[in-house]
Structure 1
Amino acid sequence: MSYLHVVIILPFLFALLGPIMQKLMPRVHGGWFMLPVPVLLFSYMLSRIPTIQSREKIFESLPWMPSLGVEFNVYLDGLGLLFALLITGIGSLVVLYSIFYLDKNKEKLPHFYVYLMLFKGAMLGLVLSDNLMVLYGFWELTSISSFLLIAFWHQREKSRYGALKSMVITVSGGLAMLAGFILLYVMAGTFSIRELIEGIHTWSDHNLFVPAMVLVLAGAFTKSAQFPFHIWLPDAMEAPTPVSAYLHSATMVKAGIYLVARMSPIFAGEALWLWLVSGFGIATLIYGSFRAMKQIDLKALLAFSTISQLGMIMSLFGLGSAAAFYTGSADAIFYTKATMAAVFHLINHAVFKGALFMVVGIVDHETGTRDIRKLGGLMAVMPITFTIAVIGSFSMAGLPPFNGFLSKEMFFTAVLNITEMNLLSMDTWGILFPVIAWTASIFTFVYSMVLVFRTFTGKPQFEKLEKKPHEAPLGMLLSPVVLVALAVVFGLFPGILSYSLIEPAMAAVHPALLEPGQQFKVKIEMWHGWTMELFMTIGVVALGTTLFLMHRRASVLHAPLFNRVSLNRTYDKGIGMLDRGSSMLTNLYMTGAIRHYLIYIFLFMVVSLSVTMYATGSFQVDTSSFADTSFYEAMIIIALILSTLAVPFATTRLMAIILTGVAGYMVTLFFVIFRAPDLALTQMIVETVSVALFLLCFYHLPKLKKEIVKLRFRLWNFIIAVSVGVIMTLIALSASSSRSFESISHYFLENSYKLAGGKNVVNVILVDFRGFDTLLEIVVLGIASYGIYAMIKLKLKGDEEISKLPARESEFKYDIYGLKSNDVILRKVSKLAIVIILLFSLYLFYNGHHHPGGGFIGALMASAAFILMAMSYGMKSVHRIIPMDFRKLTALGILIALLTGMGSFLFDVPFLSHTFDYFQIPLLGELELATALLFDLGVYLTVIGVTMTIIFTIGRDT
């Protein structure tokens, strides 16, 4: 049995539980609560190795939005297993390291571990998802969670800058990738990665194939910091060192590498894929390695080294895609050696880069600086850290007997092999690959030596350090020791990885090259004779040593590359121009006048609707099917028109409110005549509550003054008002006159009781057939009420200014219950009326499934009762009788509605599916009980909470 969904959900679950456990046990470091999660997941993934080795693939499906082709499908093969092991394995060591690196008395640990668990869960979801839309969701979640991690020390300007920069670039690439995914769906009709691979030959000649490929690569290149999108990665170094170690070794930057590897079976047969992936990769390799030599900050040096190493892995996957051009021949296996090298170096890079970041964190933690110019001579006081640094740096430099040497030799083999490829003039241009690879390896050797020897050897400069250096505690050393031990083990015994991880991952990248039961031959050896690769390595060491010795004296090796022109400056200026341009544009229309905003909205609506309707020939008014107008309808129409026309001429706000209410009640009468009791009840209660709301708002406004307005403004208002009315009327008449399909109302009438057990079709539509819409509507209502609450709570006047107000106004500001009525008759009558209204509200709620009513109408009725109570006895009395925070009631209602919908998953049916049955209840007899009633309860509570939050907030105005 597999638990892949649990693997993804578990980190998110602990992200919720972590702060609670930290609150319960404040003396315990929060990392100890989180450490079991990655350890448990890593252990589970290790147990899946035999299954994946035997070519079994683990697949799980969870229905989500089947009508849109979006299912929460998870899939574990060799490639997914490799990345899952890196995410959970390195993640375990990072959490352990962070326990000793982060001070629980100085840092906000609950925040840190929530962000870290969100990031871990997002990465696992990304590498295990089979559905492209689900993958995209996790992809963007990694950008958001990494933004939070990078900006963890948000009081620092550089942290905020780096976090924003990383999110802008990676999210922009993610949007391009989303467009590519949509194009793939247009071509293949599926979002499933497995199905896309299986059916590639049926749609690969589509004219959208190349655009989709380019868009997908845009997402991969931005995420994995390929040149020129790499500029976000060095600025991400402002994150705490555990975050940097995790992002750079096993997670964030590897997401783009994963995407290229996963999509290779789809795009590898396209020549442009080979050139783009390998070309961008090799350019990133040489650029990153050259820039790394010039850094004086240890983390910046490692950041550019990561960019370089990512370019190397990316280029290897690109070169490995050449095998797709020789499917079915022996030459195909020849070119898969590049993929083998990519997979192997993916593991090696995670191991030594994670260790080196932890070493730099230790140096920073124990000395107070990462500036190479201030360091030196630490070997004597930090011998264990020095040993770790030597192994990690030598592995990164590609020196034996460490794992980096093996994958670097395989890299040389891959770039030499590509020169023998007689495709697309690779025999001519291909010579650039080994030349650039060899040059970049020299630079890699130099910055690796700078990292270890400039930091730990030479003359001590302890007087320049903020702290007296000493060896790190054992807990902080444990994680990097484990990683460098793996670097040695994988170097001496590479066969451990050959058929457990490397070969299954290769099979996932090149599924078309193997017959059933076949395996790729994975042979990795420390000594492979006096080959060209070995001579290239000797040259790297010889020339690299020379350049290292010249590093301090030759400015070309350590001076900044550009002073005035750089990609970072271009980015900063571009963001600045966008910011200034958007500010100028915004200031043109954001005048602060609501009247102007309404003009923009109405003008846009009128113009866009008019043009669309005219262009599509949709203005078709057919009056032949209209019913005759009765005398009562004519009277109501006349009253409605007269009350509406009278509003602009009202001399007091109270009269304007009354006239507006009259118009609303006339609409209510229309619903009564048209036999729509649900709508009539809703409209009537809404009008009643709205009048109370208007009274509360207008009570705070000064006395209405008649201002002299120029004729052109009145004429302009008249034109807009008439235009809106005319266009909406024409649209309504055209819609009723040109129906292309039979009305869906017949379906609801026939199936409301059969499928949902309800005779009130309106209520059944709201809570069953269109329940998802209703859920979103109450969420929007809740957000609106919270927004109103927050907006009013932002006191525009300070307490000192309020104290200076006139006595009557100041008294009102503090006497929040000043709306209490002194009418004795109203108070006496309201006692009975409130009870009757509340009972009627419960009746409407419970019987709404079969009779006029429902949660929405019942809630409005209950709100009307509370408003009557507030007006009769004051708001203070309402709070004394009902000591409730209505904002929490809103949240409770939304939660009940959401949990009702999620309960469907327990029965393996789509979200918000309902059921009903009949039960014998003592004394009451047979009653129908429907799960829709629970959903309606959520609506009921939400609407009461929203309405009363708005009414009471405005009524208090504090």
Structure 2
Amino acid sequence: MLIVNLAILIPFIIAAFIPFVHKKITRIHIGWIVLFVPLLLFILLASFIPSISDGQTFAYTIPWIPSAGINFTTYLDGLSLIFGLLITGVGALVVVYSIYYLSSKESLTHFYIYLLLFMGAMLGVVLSDNIMILYVFWELTSISSFLLIAFWYHRKRSREGAQKSLLITVAGGFAMLVGFIMMTVMTNTFSVREMIGAAGEVSDHTLFLPALLLILLGAFTKSVQFPFHIWLPDAMEAPTPISAYLHSATMVKAGIYLVARFTPVFGGDTTWFWLVTGIGLLTLFWGAFNAIRQTDLKALLAYSTISQLGMIMSMFGMGSAALHNGYSPDSVVYTQATFAALFHLVNHSTFKGALFMVVGIIDHEVGTRDIRKLSGLITLMPISFTIMAIGSFSMAGLPPFNGFLSKEMFFTAALDTGALSIFSLDTLGATLPVIAWTASVLTFVYCMILVFKTFFGPYREEKLERPAHEPPVGMIVPPAILSFFVIAIFFFPNILGNHLLRPAINGIFPTFAAAGESLGRSISQWHGFNTELYMTIAIVILGTILFLTLRYWAGIYHLFPEKLSFNALYDFSLEQLETRSNSVTKSYMTGFLRDYFVYIFLLFIGLTGGAMIFTGAFDFDISGNAPIATYEWVLVIIMFSAGIAIPFAKSRLTAVLLYGVIGYLVAIFFVLMRAPDLALTQIVIETVTTVLFLVAYYFLPEWGKENTPKRTKVTNLIISLSVGAIFIVVALAVQNGRLFESISSFYENAYELAGGRNIVNTILGDFRALDTMLEVVVLLIAGLGVYAFIKLKYGKGNQNLEDK
């Protein structure tokens, strides 16, 4: 349906009008205008829930480059619908939250433009069926998130965090693009659906494993999997509405979506299983371990996000085992891990979005996020405490919150997968539930830190910038709505399961769904006294002990020195890259124009001359050429004499005039060769160039005595003669060495093909339309840049870009 395509484009269209609307409407906060976009899109996508629940899917194609198989094709199924609802639903709440969070003195126009660009890009990622279009939106999420993270660009750490996120995610995106191209080579299609349909035919292809690794690299970098997780904590320098949106519900889940979407293609492969499951579990543990040591609330939430995303990723990996050896009714049971991953995906967006907003409230109202300064806020901020407790206890996996249900399902998946006899799980499988349980204990500890160290204990107002108090109602409503869903999903989980989760898992396992299998499961709050419940009880007991004795064992973190961390490795690599690149740049950027010409000409001589020698292209025959008339010899001799005379000219005026003689004689040759349009162009360009030379030389100092060493002159002479000789030989060789039929006959049909009688114009305007359009875009960007510099006004806050 066309309406799905429009859902992607609407945020971009509205973003283009925001600057004009903001100028016209001053009495209403621009955020209220922007709010209509995610609300409208959420209602639009929600209207598809009944149809999607009945097993329908929707696709629509707008031709773009049909000759290359690249079209703007959207595909809406259960999987993309879940992500679309999260993007728009949480996006609407974030917009409301931002209206009260951000000061009116902020550049709200830029903020909402960036936010809408990101929203549209994320919708493009999850709704695109063409992988090239998906990639375009994928990188656009990186660019827009860079702008959002660097929103407070006057802060050095904000700029550095934005740079780190951009470098890591874009690098992963490039790897993913190569993987996409390999997939296209294997399947001969750009359509994700058609790739899934050809899954059984590509598993033995030589490009299968490289494509798998490259696509996972893109997914891991975007979804902050170990060791690419280092960009997320630094991205917390962004305003809290951005953190609540990008880093809990949307951007970091783009990689999760990619893994889920390509599970039908790569699922069942040993490498895919162990990479997705193993990296996911490692990320789960490492994120939880590092969250405990944080003293900043947003940093703690950042590492908790890393950990929770690792948990979701590992469940998708476990669920992929169901595809081992293709479809089998006995393997359907292992799809429950994927069902649990989808369930926790939704749960995480609810409780983590609420937690980020509450942390933003604390920072906004008391002026600090430092846990060491915060305590005793429960009496002054009871509503914030309630929301924080609901979100934290859900993340810890306690009832009666939705996180408890998906965490129990996670334990079930780890136990069932660990008992399989494939993928060497008969020996390594026991580690899966052990790592899952250990990480969950650490999760419980940092969740208790969030609640008890922030809200309990003595109230210390002297350590706060402002007295603690509840925020405006508009700021508390969005996290309250999310916390409501945290509880509501616990009591009514099957509403979500039947209408969203089941259709989504059918999209991940289309072969099973086509066989009539009933995927998913009925979600219940009580399963009796089983292993999973005992694991939860043990988590609560051990987690409580560890929390109460935290000061006694926290010294373990000193065993991991900061200088050996991945952050230190990133900083060192970036510093060395900058230092080495500066050294290399300074070695050839001498500041002398002659040196730059020498580099260019030597490269030309080496590549062109070397290629001609290697291919034997020096062979040519001029015996069949037309005879050269006397007047042509005269013109050549005059041009030759003028060229020889230029280096020996005693004044700039003489050199410029001799240069002009050569140019005008070339125009005469065009006339003799019956090319009047080229002759006219040559005369105009030559006239303008000569005048500009004269004007420029007028402002230069007097031409003094030349002190060029003899060695330099000899070098210049050799290079000049070599370049000239290469050009002559190339011209002669090309004339007699045609390997293919000339394409000139094609352009001679310009009138029939393009409707133009002037061949040159049709080549530039029609046959080279895309190239010309890109050239115009470059000029447009340059013009905008010049205009921006002309209009740029520095305020007091912009004069110093370093932290105070």
Place the TM-score, normalised by the shorter chain, in its bin: over 0.9
Aligned twin of 2:543 = 544
- Counterpart of 1:62 in 2: which secondary structure? strand
Give, as a single letter, the amino acid of the residue that structure 2 aligns with 1:297: D
Q: 2:712 maps to which residue?
A: 713
Q: CA separation of 1:790/1:245 partners in 2, compared to 1, >3 Å: closer, same or farther?
A: closer
Query: Match for residue 752 of structure 2?
Result: 754
Alpha-carbon distance between aligned partners in 1 of 2:506 and 2:788, rounded to the nearest angstrom: 56
In the TM superposition, residue 684 of structure 1 has moved relative to its aligned partner by 1.4
| Match in the other structure for 2:802 | none
Post-superposition Cα deviations, 1:316-361, rounded to whole Å, max 9, x if no partner, equal 0011100111533222211101000000000000000000000000
How far apart in 2 are the matches of 1:623 and 1:792?
A: 57
Measured in 1, the distance between the counterparts of 2:522 and 2:193 equals: 29
Aligned residue identity for 1:451: L
Provide the residue aligned with 1:288 in structure 2.
Answer: 287
- 8 A contact 2:129–2:193 mirrored in 1: yes
Matches within 5 A, 1:595-614: 595-614=594-613
Q: SS of 1:73's equivalent?
A: strand
Cα distance in 2 between the residues matched to 1:716 and 1:785: 40
Number of residue equivalences: 792
Q: Distance in 1 between matches of 2:786 and 2:56?
A: 56
1:688-837 to 2 correspondence within 5 Å?
Answer: 688-749=687-748, 751-780=749-778
Q: Does 1:663 align with 2:654?
A: no
Q: Residues 103-143 of structure 1: CA distance to partner in whole angstroms, max 9, x if unpaired?
A: 11x21111111111111111111111112222111111111
Counterparts of 1:79 and 1:268 in 2: how far apart (Å)? 16
Deviates more, 1:481-490 or 1:590-599: 590-599
After superposition, residues 107-506 of structure 1 pair within 5 angstroms as 107-506=106-505
Cα distance in structure 2, aligned partners of 1:154 and 1:14: 24
Q: Which residue identity does 1:514 align to in structure 2?
A: A
Q: Give me the whole-angstrom Cα distance separating, in 2, the residues matched to 1:433 and 1:43.
A: 40
Any conservation in 2 of the 1:415–1:433 contact (CA below 8 Å)? Answer: yes
8 Å CA contact 2:374, 2:455 repeated in 1? yes
Q: Distance in 2 between matches of 1:717 and 1:532?
A: 83
Mapped to 1, the partners of 2:479 and 2:251 lie a distance apart of 20
Taking structure 1 as reference, are residues 560 and 80 closer, same or farther at Cα in structure 2, changes over 3 Å only?
Answer: farther
Give me the whole-angstrom Cα distance separating, in 2, the residues matched to 1:320 and 1:340. 8
Q: Alpha-carbon deviations, 1:855-892, whole Å to 9, x = none? A: xxxxxxxxxxxxxxxxxxxxxxxxxxxxxxxxxxxxxx
- Cα distance in 2, alignment partners of residues 485 and 700 from structure 1: 74
Instruction: Give 2:100's aligned amino acid.
Output: F
Amino acid at match of 2:72: F
Q: 1:757 to 1:571 in 2, by over 3 A?
A: closer
Structure 1 stretch 45-54 or stretch 633-642: which is displaced more? 633-642
Q: Assess if the C-alpha contact under 8 Å between 1:294 and 1:559 holds in 2.
A: no
Q: Which residue of 2 aligns with 1:25?
A: 25
Q: Aligned equivalents of 2:691 and 2:374: distance in 1?
A: 72
How much does 1:786 deviate? 8.1
* More displaced stretch, 755-764 vs 275-284: 755-764
Report the RMSD for the aligned CA atoms in angstroms: 2.0
Alpha-carbon contact 2:280-2:314 (below 8 Å) kept: yes
**SS where residue 191 of structure 1 aligns?**
coil
- Equivalents in 2 of 1:293, 1:699: separation in Å? 70
Letter in 1 for 2:61: S
Matching residue of 2:795: none
d(CA) in 2 for partners of 1:697, 1:503? 73
Q: 415-424 vs 193-202, which deviates more?
A: 193-202
AA paired with 1:565? L
AA aligned opposite 1:258: Y
Separation in structure 2 between the aligned mates of residue 139 and residue 789 of structure 1, nearest angstrom: 30
1:687, CA displacement in angstroms? 1.1
CA distance in structure 2 between the aligned counterparts of 1:788 and 1:709, rounded to whole angstroms: 38
* Deviations 1:445-468, CA, capped at 9 Å, x for gaps: 111111011111111112211101
Find the residue that maps to 2:236 and give its secondary structure. Answer: helix
| Superposed displacement of residue 244, structure 1 | 0.4
Q: Deviations over 1:744-782 (max 9, x none)?
A: 111221x22223333222222222222233333444556
TM-score (norm 2): 0.95
Preserved CA contact (<8 Å) 1:293 1:557 = no
| Aligned mates of 1:458, 1:789 — CA distance in 2 | 56
Distance 1:188 1:661, change over 3 A: same
**Higher mean Cα deviation, 666-675 or 463-472?**
666-675
Partner of 2:5: 5
Q: Following TM superposition, by how much is the alpha carbon of 1:408 offset from its aligned partner in structure 2, in angstroms?
A: 0.1
Q: Deviations over 1:479-536 (max 9, x none)?
A: 0010000011111100111121111111111112222665414211101111111111
Distance 1:267 1:618 in 2: 48
Which whole-Å CA distance do the structure 2 matches of 1:223 and 1:552 have between them? Answer: 34
CA contact (8 A) 1:296 1:371 kept: yes
Letter of the 1:753 counterpart: Y
- Aligned pairs for 1:517-532 within 5 A: 518-532=517-531
Counterpart residue identity of residue 431, structure 1? A
TM-superposed CA distance for 1:636, in Å, is 2.3
Equivalent residue of 1:61, what SS? strand
Helix, strand or coil for the counterpart of 2:355? Answer: helix
Report 1:547-566 matches (<5 A).
547-556=546-555, 561-566=560-565
Q: Which amino acid aligns with 2:250?
A: T
Aligned residue for 1:327, secondary structure, equals: coil
SS at match of 1:618: coil
Distance 1:132 1:500 in 2: 27
Deviation of 1:437 after TM superposition, in Å, equals 0.2
Other-structure match for 2:801:
none
Determine which structure has greater relative contact order: mean sequence separation of CA pairs < 8 Å that are 6+ residues apart, divided by chain length: 2
Aligned AA for 1:24?
Answer: K
Q: CA deviation at 1:545?
A: 1.2
Shift in alpha-carbon separation, 1:258–1:665, aligned structure 2, 3 A: same
Task: Show CA shifts across 1:546-602 (max 9, x none).
Answer: 111112343247768434421111111111111111111111111111111111111
- Spell out, residue by residue over 1:30-69, the C-alpha distance to the aligned partner (whole angstroms, 9 max, x if none): 2112110011011101011122222222112222223333
What residue is the counterpart of 1:40 in the other structure? 40
Q: Percent same amino acid among aligned pairs?
A: 55
CA shift digits 1:586-620 (9 cap, x unpaired): 11111111111111111112112222233333333
1:524 counterpart SS class: coil
SS in 2 for 1:372: coil
Note if contact 1:30-1:109 (Cα within 8 Å) is conserved in structure 2: yes
Contact 1:395 1:403 in 2 (8 A): yes
Q: Which runs of 5+ in 2 are unaligned?
A: 793-804
Are 2:74 and 1:74 equivalent residues in the alignment?
Answer: yes
Structure 1 distance, partners of 2:26, 2:783, is: 35
Taking the TM superposition and a 5 Å limit, the aligned residue runs for 1:900-911 are none
Q: For residue 324 of structure 2, give the secondary structure of its aligned residue in structure 1.
A: helix
Classify the secondary structure of the residue corresponding to 1:773: helix
Instruction: Work out whether 1:59 is the aligned partner of 2:59.
Output: yes
CA distance in 1, matches of 2:222, 2:765: 42
Deviation of 1:787 after TM superposition, in Å, equals: 8.4
The question of whether the paired residues in 2 share the 8 Å contact of 1:53 and 1:500 is answered with: yes
TM-score, normalised with respect to structure 1: 0.80
Larger C-alpha radius of gyration, 1 or 2? 1
Distance 2:20 2:176 in 1: 37
Code of the residue aligned with 1:236 in structure 2: it is: A
Q: Verify the 8 A CA contact 2:336 2:520 in the aligned structure 1.
A: no
Rounded to whole Å, the distance in 2 between the matches of 1:245 and 1:157 is 21
Shift of 1:785: 7.6
Cα separation, partners in 2 of 1:370 and 1:40, compared to 1, 3 Å: same
**Deviation per CA, 1:408-428, whole angstroms, max 9, x where unpaired?**
000000000012211122021
* Alignment CA distance shift 1:479-1:788 (3 Å): closer
* Distance in 1 (alpha carbons) for counterparts of 2:662 and 2:784: 29
